[in-house]
Amino acid sequence: MNQAQNPISLSLRRVWALSHNTFLELVRLKVFYFLLLFAFLIIGSSLFTVQFSFQNPLQVLKDVGLGAMSIFSWLLGLLCTANLLPKDMEDRTLYTILAKPVSRFEYLQGKLYGVFLLLGLSVLLMSLLFAGVLAIREQQEIAELARNLSPENLPAAVAEIRAATFQMNLLPGIALILLKAMLCSTLTLLLSTLATSSVFTVLTSVVVYLIGHVQGIAREAWLAGGQASPLLKVLVAGMALAFPDLQLFNVVDEIAVGTALPAQLFWQVAGFGGLYILVYFLLAQLVFSTREL
Amino acid sequence: MAVCTTAILIKDLCKEFPVPFRRETVKAVQNLSLEVPAGEVYGLLGPNGSGKSTTMKIVLGLVRPTSGTTAVFGVDSRRVESRENVGFLPENPYFYKYLTGLETLLFFGKLCGLSGRPLRERSRALLQTVGLEDAADRRLGGYSKGMLQRIGLAQALLGDPKLLVLDEPTAGVDPAGAHAIRDLILQCKQRGITVLLCSHLLGQVQEICDRIGIMDRGELLAEGRIDDLAEKKNQIELVLENATPALLESLGAMSRASGAQVVSQRGARTDLEKFFLDVTRHRS
């Protein structure tokens, strides 16, 4: 081995090797294909089921598509991450890897970045299908308009349809869906460094996911009227710190009706998500660095 | 920079594992001290649960000692740098099933700091050395036990290590495969690579190792050169060919007259492993 190589560059190469390997491992898992297939089925079938709804078809498509992307990307991240560490420990592959000049920090980074790569690919594929479904529906709507409207009124109506189909604010919404999945995966990784069983990790992650979605409502209810005791306030503050408010990432409803996502809000939520990812990862590293193998 | 002539240095090593939900601890290693000079093949022996694997893991930096120190070529085992010159073959190695033999070596080679064409060439050369060049593009999920051991040895040799740590390298492998692995270890020895070997197969240890240490219940009970430890001080083995019964009778009489004693007398036997290999080689 060339000792004169830059240690940072060597470290980055090791992390990349581990990430790439983790990505390959996950992409060859059956659960990846099953979940992606279900997501495709739900997004694809919305094209047919929308005709049975009384709401604006494009809005329904966006609701279903973005909702499916949110659920499936979270589920994929959870199921893929939960078994990464336990499997390597049980198979003793971890020993072979850490017996190389690889630190536990690099190992954990590699695993997490591999999951992020998988999530990025999944969200990209679902987004492409989603865009395809919207494009098909757009053509159907325009064809319907062409049959019913006069030629003078048609261009304006078509422009309105096109504007409603694809809006730039869809992209920040999709980015936040991806970020939420990455945050939940990082949390799952932290839980797996503490747990000895992947079943426990999955169950705990689901509970934290649910807490993350209802904590905003619970906080408002408990603190309403200003009568809360100091102890309750401390407990609520602790809960708010430990569990991220995942409702912040739920911008699907606003996007579906065409509301633009303010840039400041996007960056605040993205920063919030990024900070939690960093904290959870550092905690995972702290636990993993002291764990007996 | 001074060249360190001690490959492994273990000083007063202790390792205790806490027992869950109890205030007790299990002493896996107790006050172990040993030194393996560079270039030596050292066998670490002992019954199951004697602390060999724990000692090995501490040397590799996988487990933290409770007290004491371990160093590899002068570098503390707890530092990542100590593993730059180390190759490790774990017991019953398990690699990623979805990777082919070549992909496995490329992956581990990148972890050793190798890349590009040199890595590819080294991987192919090692696959040839361990006799797996025809299985290079087959996924490890389809490998036999012996093939997994050989790919494990190949990945251990990837970084051109100065120290090889082998935990039961021939466990579960057929005699031909075990023979091939033994020959590889002897080649490493000739190249000056230090080898730390844990094995239950004492016959193999006797053939390969320069020195051995015997552990039990976390303690080092005996250590030294095999010839010195295994020699029966007051006995000589004599193998005769074409000896007549009259000659054997007179040898026995001479022994008794000089105060010596014939302890045992039987027809010389070939090594069962050699016999097995001869038969199977002729058949193939």
Determine the pLDDT at residue B118.
94
Taking the Cβ of residue B143 and every Cβ of chain A, the question of whether any pair is shorter than 8 Å is answered with no
Q: Could you give the 3-state DSSP secondary structure of residue B7?
A: strand
User: pLDDT digits over A253-290, tens only?
Assistant: 777 666 777 888 889 999 999 999 999 999 999 999 98
Q: How confident is the model at residue B38 (pLDDT cuts 50, 70, 90)?
A: very high
The answer on pLDDT for B233 being more than 90 is: no
Specify the range with the lowest mean pLDDT, choosing from A75-84, A145-154, A161-170, B143-152: A161-170
Handedness of CA B72, B75, B78, B83 (dihedral sign): negative
Model confidence, pTM: 0.85
Element (H, E) at A52: none
Q: Tokens in use for B126?
A: 């090692």
Nearest CB to B113 within list A1, A92, A96: A1
Using an 8 Å Cβ cutoff, are B75 and B81 in contact?
A: yes
Q: How confident is the model at residue B248 (pLDDT cuts 50, 70, 90)?
A: confident
Candidate CATH numbers 3.90.1150.10, 3.40.50.300, 3.65.10.10, 2.60.40.10; the one for domain B6-230: 3.40.50.300
Using an 8 Å Cβ cutoff, are B201 and B13 in contact?
A: no
Closest CA to A26 of A74, A70, A80: A80
Nearest CA distance, B270 vs chain A (angstrom):
38
Pairs of CB atoms within 8 A across A/B: 84
Mean pLDDT of B85-104: 90
Specify the range with the lowest mean pLDDT, choosing from A85-94, A142-151, A205-214, B53-62: A142-151
Per CB-CB distance under 8 Å, the chain B contacts of A16 are: 110
Determine the pLDDT at residue B44.
92
Q: Where are the beta strands (DSSP E) in B134-203?
A: 163-167, 194-198
How many Cα atoms are found within 13 Å in the side-chain-facing hemisphere of A239? 21
Per-domain residue ranges for chain B? 6-230, 245-283
DSSP-derived letter for residue B100 is B
Determine the pLDDT at residue B15.
94
Q: Tokens in use for B209?
A: 């190792």
Q: Which residues 225-284 on chain B approach chain A with CB closer than 8 angstroms?
A: none
The answer on pLDDT for B283 being more than 60 is: no
| CB contact (8 A) between residue A101 and residue B113 | yes
Q: Tokens in use for A264?
A: 């400041």
Q: Is B185 or A110 the better-scoring residue by pLDDT?
A: A110
| CB contact (8 A) between residue A101 and residue B92 | no
Determine the pLDDT at residue B271.
61
CA-angle at A288, arms to A17 and B68, nearest 5°: 105
The answer on pLDDT for B280 being more than 80 is: no
| CB contact (8 A) between residue B99 and residue A24 | yes
Mean pLDDT of B130-141: 92
CA-angle at A182, arms to A258 and A102, nearest 5°: 155
Compare all CA atoms of chain B with the CA of A28 and give the residue at the minimum distance. B98
Place of tokens 């679902």: A126
Nearest CA distance, B134 vs chain A (angstrom):
23
Nearest CB to B80 within list A16, A17, A101: A101
Using an 8 Å Cβ cutoff, are A169 and A260 in contact?
A: yes
Per CB-CB distance under 8 Å, the chain B contacts of A101 are: 80-81, 83-84, 111-113
| CB contact (8 A) between residue A101 and residue B88 | no
Mean pLDDT of B186-197: 92
Specify the range with the lowest mean pLDDT, choosing from B58-72, B171-185, B244-258: B171-185
Determine the pLDDT at residue A1.
43
Using an 8 Å Cβ cutoff, are A13 and A99 in contact?
A: no
Residue A175, classified by CB atoms within 10 Å of its CB into exposed (0-12), middle (13-18) or buried (19+), is middle
Nearest CA distance, A284 vs chain B (angstrom):
18
| CB contact (8 A) between residue B62 and residue A98 | yes
Nearest CB to B62 within list A91, A99, A103: A99
Element (H, E) at B67: strand B67-72
Per CB-CB distance under 8 Å, the chain B contacts of A19 are: none
Nearest CB to B98 within list A25, A99, A292: A25
Q: How confident is the model at residue A227 (pLDDT cuts 50, 70, 90)?
A: low
| CB contact (8 A) between residue B159 and residue A1 | yes
Q: How confident is the model at residue B5 (pLDDT cuts 50, 70, 90)?
A: confident
Per CB-CB distance under 8 Å, the chain B contacts of A289 are: none
DSSP codes, B122-142: HHHHHHHHTT-GGGTTSBGGG
Mean pLDDT of A137-146: 84
ipTM score assigned to the predicted complex:
0.84
Per-domain residue ranges for chain A? 8-290
Residues of A with CB under 8 A from a CB of B: 1-3, 5, 10, 13-14, 16-18, 21, 24-25, 28, 91-93, 95-103, 292-293
CA distance B66 to B13: 8
Q: Please state whether beta strands B163-167 and B86-89 pair in parallel, antiparallel, or not at all (unpaired).
A: parallel
Per CB-CB distance under 8 Å, the chain A contacts of B98 are: 24-25, 28
Q: What is the layout of strands, in order, in the sheet containing B163-167?
A: B86-89, B163-167, B194-198, B41-45, B211-216, B219-225
Report the DSSP beta bridge partners of residue B11: B69
User: pLDDT digits over A19-49, tens only?
Assistant: 999 999 998 888 788 777 877 877 777 777 7
Determine the pLDDT at residue A2.
45
- Listed ranges A1-5, A37-41, A106-110, A262-266; the one with the highest mean pLDDT: A106-110
Using an 8 Å Cβ cutoff, are A187 and A280 in contact?
A: yes
Nearest CA distance, B129 vs chain A (angstrom):
19
The answer on pLDDT for B215 being more than 80 is: yes
Determine the pLDDT at residue B107.
96
* Interface mutation vs chain B, best among A95, A105, A108, most B CBs within 10 Å: A95
Compare all CA atoms of chain B with the CA of A107 and give the residue at the minimum distance. B111
Determine the pLDDT at residue A3.
46
Q: Is B275 or B81 the better-scoring residue by pLDDT?
A: B81
